[in-house]
Amino acid sequence: MFNINTVTLSDGVASGSVLNFRKAIKVEETKDVPKDKRGIERKELEESLLVSLNEINCLVDEVRKSLGDDKASIFECHADIISDEEFQNDMFSLIDEKGYSAAYAASVIAEQNALEMEELDDPYFKERAADFRDIGQRIVSHLVKEQGCGEENFPPHKAVVVAESLTPGETIRFYKPNLLGFIVAKGGKNSHAAILARSIGVPAVVVSENMLSLLKDDTPVVLNIENNTLIVNPDEKTIEKAENIQVLQEKRRIRLKKIKGKPAVTKDGHLFKLYANSGSMKDLASVKTEQPDGIGLFRTEFLFMEQSSLPNEEIQAAYYTKVLETLEGKPVIFRLLDIGGDKPLPYLQHPEEKNPFLGWRGIRFLLDNEEILRTQIRSMLIASDTTHQIVRIMVPMVSCIAEMQAVQKIIEDEKKLVGGNAIAGMMVETPAAAMNVLNYKGISHFISIGSNDLTQYTVAVDRESEVLRKLYSEFHPSVLQLMYKAVTDAREAGMETGICGEFAGRIEGAAILAGIGFDELSMSAGAIPAVKEILRSCNFVDLQKLTQDVLALPDAESVYNKAHTFLEEQGLLL
C-alpha cells in the first residue's frame, strides 16, 4: 500500500480497480491531397460536421433528461462551435489551399483553438481547451477508423477510469452504474469534465503524469479517503473505511438537497449572501439550479472571445440585458473586460511581455484603450436602463486610486448620455490594493477579493506552475492577513465586501472567510450547498474565533489543518 498526492476535482470517496482509458483515434498527418481529390475531402468533412452536429443535439436531449438543462448547456456550446462559420471555414481552407485531408484539417483546427484557450490566464477559459479537443475528436471519429478502447471495452466489474485527460464527451460516455471515479493527469476544477463529474456524483482527482504510469489495469485504489491522497493497493481496513464513508456521503447528499433555497444564516443569526461565479449565458442555467443569491463574478471576456472583432454597443447591451433578465432581479456583478498581454484577443494588438502577469492587463489595458472601456460601460448602462436594475461593475487589476477615479468619471459621462444606474467596485487582486482600501472610500462602492491572483502576487508563485504547486495556497497566513485587513478597512469605509475566487467554494476556506466577516462569498454554483450547510450549522462567533486562531499560525498547512479539525469537530466533513 502506498499513497499518491492528488488535487481533487470532484469530491467523494471511491474504492475499486483501475481501468486505463486509451484514446480511440489516431490521425495521420496528411498534407498532400491532390487538387482533384480535395473536393472529396471537403464533402467528407461537410458530412462529418453534419453527423457530429446531429449527435450532439441528441446528446443534449439525453443529458437534459438525465442531468438537467444546466449540464445540457455544455453540449449546446459544442453545437454552437461546430455550427460556427469561421470554425468550419478554417478547416475547409486547409483542405482547399494546403491539401490537408479532412481528418487532419479538423484535428489541426480543433487543436489550434484548444492551444489558444490554454494560453489564456483565466482558469475558466483555460479549461475550455478540452471542449475544442472533444469537438475535434468527434468530427474526426467519422472520418477515420477508431482504435483503442471505448465504451464497448469497459469491464464488467466496477472501475475507476484512469486517463491523461478526459473530454466532456468522454465523461458522459462513461456515465454508467459501474463507473466509480476518474483519475487524470490534466484538468482543473473549471473543466467541463470536472463539472460533469460533480454533477453525476463521481469522484475525480488529478495526479502527476509520472504517477499516472504506476496505475496499471486492475490495480485496486481508494480516492479521497484522506485529503488530496490516492491510496494504491489499499488494505482491507482502508477499503472497509471507504465503504463506510460512501454510506455517509449518500446521507449528506440527501441532507444538502433539503437546504436548497434556504438562507445561509448561522445558528446565531448572522446572514451571508452566497453568490455564484459565471462566464457566459450558457453557464447561467447551471447557476440557477443552485438558487444563489446573485452573481458575484460575471466574466465578460467570453463575449469578446466569441467574436471575430470587438463587439459593438448593440451586441454588448443586448447580452448584458439578457444576463440581468435571466437572474430575475438578483444582483449581478459584471467584471470589466479582463484582457491583456497574458490573454490577448486575436483581433487586438498586444505587445509580447516578459512578465505578462505583471504587465498590461485588466484596467491598465482598458484605460489605454478608452473607447473599448467606454463602449462596455455604456452598454452596461443601457442594460440597466432597459431592465430598471442597478448594474454592478467590477474593475479588475486595480493598483492605484487614479484607476478607480477614471472609471467613475467615465460612468458619470456615459450615464448622462444613455441613462441607467451603476455602482463600481474594485477587485482586490494586488497587495497594493489590499493594503490601501481605506483610501478608496467614496471612490469604490464595494470590494471583491480575487483570491487566485492575490495569492499569486503575495507568495510570488505562478499559480499554473506544476513545480511550485505546493507553495501556492490561499491558506497561507499572509494571504489571509491581507484579506482580513482589506475587509476590516472596507467595513470602516462603508463598502460591501465579497470574494470571488474559488477559495470560497472550499468548505475549510469558507469557514475562515465567514469568520473574517465577508458579506458575500462567490464560488462555482455546485459548491454552494456544502458551503451553505457549513454556515447554517455554525455560530458566527465560533467562525470568528477560528479566524483569529488561524491568523496567528505560521504556515498554510497549519491553517488548513486547524480549519479542517474545526469542521470535523462540528461533524461537518460528511
pLDDT attached to residue 146: 53
- Give the list of residues 6+ apart from residue 277 with CB closer than 8 angstroms, or none: 124, 295, 296, 297, 298, 299, 500, 502, 522, 523, 524, 525
Q: Do domains 35-141 and 265-270+429-439+460-574 have the same CATH topology?
A: no
Q: What ranges do the domains of the chain cover?
A: 2-23+148-235, 35-141, 265-270+429-439+460-574, 300-426
Place of cell 462596455: 376
Band of pLDDT at residue 402, cut at 50, 70 and 90: very high
Residue (of 212, 201, 137) closest to 175 by Cα position: 201
A 10 A CB-CB count for 154 gives 17
A 10 A CB-CB count for 12 gives 21
Element (H, E) at 273: strand 271-278
| pLDDT above 50: residue 106 | yes
Q: How far is CA 369 from the centre of its chain?
A: 27
Q: Active site residue: 192, 350, 445, 476, which one?
A: 192
pLDDT attached to residue 148: 45
Band of pLDDT at residue 147, cut at 50, 70 and 90: very low
Listed in order, strand segments (DSSP E) in 1-60 are: 2-5, 7-10, 14-20
Distance CA 171, CA 62 (A): 14
| pLDDT above 50: residue 559 | yes
Q: pLDDT tens, 240-252? A: 998 888 888 888 8
| pLDDT above 50: residue 155 | no
| pLDDT above 80: residue 263 | yes
Residue (of 114, 96, 109, 115) closest to 37 by Cα position: 96
List the grid coordinates of 42. Answer: 471537403
pLDDT attached to residue 271: 98
Q: What is the pTM of this model?
A: 0.74
> Domain 265-270+429-439+460-574, what fold?
TIM Barrel (3.20.20)
| pLDDT above 90: residue 571 | no
* Residue % of the chain over a pLDDT of 70: 93
Average pLDDT for residues 318-323, to the nearest whole number? Answer: 97
Band of pLDDT at residue 179, cut at 50, 70 and 90: confident
Instruction: Give yes or no: 149 in active site.
Output: no
Query: Directed axis angle between helix 85-98 and helix 38-67, to 10°?
Result: 150
Domain 300-426 of CATH type 3.40.50.10140: no
pLDDT attached to residue 340: 67
Q: pLDDT tens, 277-302? A: 988 887 787 788 889 999 999 999 88
Band of pLDDT at residue 156, cut at 50, 70 and 90: low
Cα separation values, 482 from 126, 275, 404, 475, Å: 27, 22, 20, 12
- Give the list of residues 6+ apart from residue 467 with CB closer than 8 angstroms, or none: none
Cα separation values, 537 from 205, 227, 400, 529, 549, Å: 28, 22, 40, 12, 20
Of the candidate CATH numbers 3.40.50.970, 1.10.150.120, 1.10.274.10, 3.40.50.300, the domain formed by 35-141 belongs to 1.10.274.10
Q: pLDDT tens, 471-496? A: 889 999 999 999 999 999 999 999 99
| CATH no., domain 2-23+148-235 | 3.50.30.10
| pLDDT above 60: residue 341 | no
Instruction: Give yes or no: 192 in active site.
Output: yes
